[in-house]
């Protein structure tokens, strides 16, 4: 279970910022004053640290860090 979560947290930033780009490459809807593509990139500036933090906590709980 934890292993699956770990893999998801690792894959997610790559998928969101590279793989799905063709689908988010659009102007509408404009959110928080940002056209959609820019909003999406902005969103992942904020979300990526959460993924990293999740991985950090998982590794810590497994005693993988020293």
- Note whether 7 and 55 are within 8 A (CB): no
**Choice from 1, 3, 27, 29 touching another protein (CB under 8 A):** 27
**Choice from 1, 3, 63, 65 touching another protein (CB under 8 A):** 65
Measured distance CA(16)–CA(37) in Å, rounded = 12
Choose among 43, 65, 56: nearest CA to 6. 56
Contact set with another protein (CB under 8 A) = 13-14, 17-19, 21-22, 25-27, 30, 33-35, 37-38, 41-42, 44-46, 48-49, 51-53, 55-56, 65-66
């Amino acid at each position: 279970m934890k292993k699956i979560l770990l893999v998801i947290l690792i894959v997610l930033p790559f998928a969101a910022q590279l793989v799905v780009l063709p689908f988010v490459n659009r102007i509408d809807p404009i959110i928080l004053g940002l056209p959609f593509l820019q909003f999406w990139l902005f969103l992942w500036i904020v979300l990526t640290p959460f993924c990293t933090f999740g991985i950090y906590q998982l590794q810590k709980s497994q005693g993988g860090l020293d």
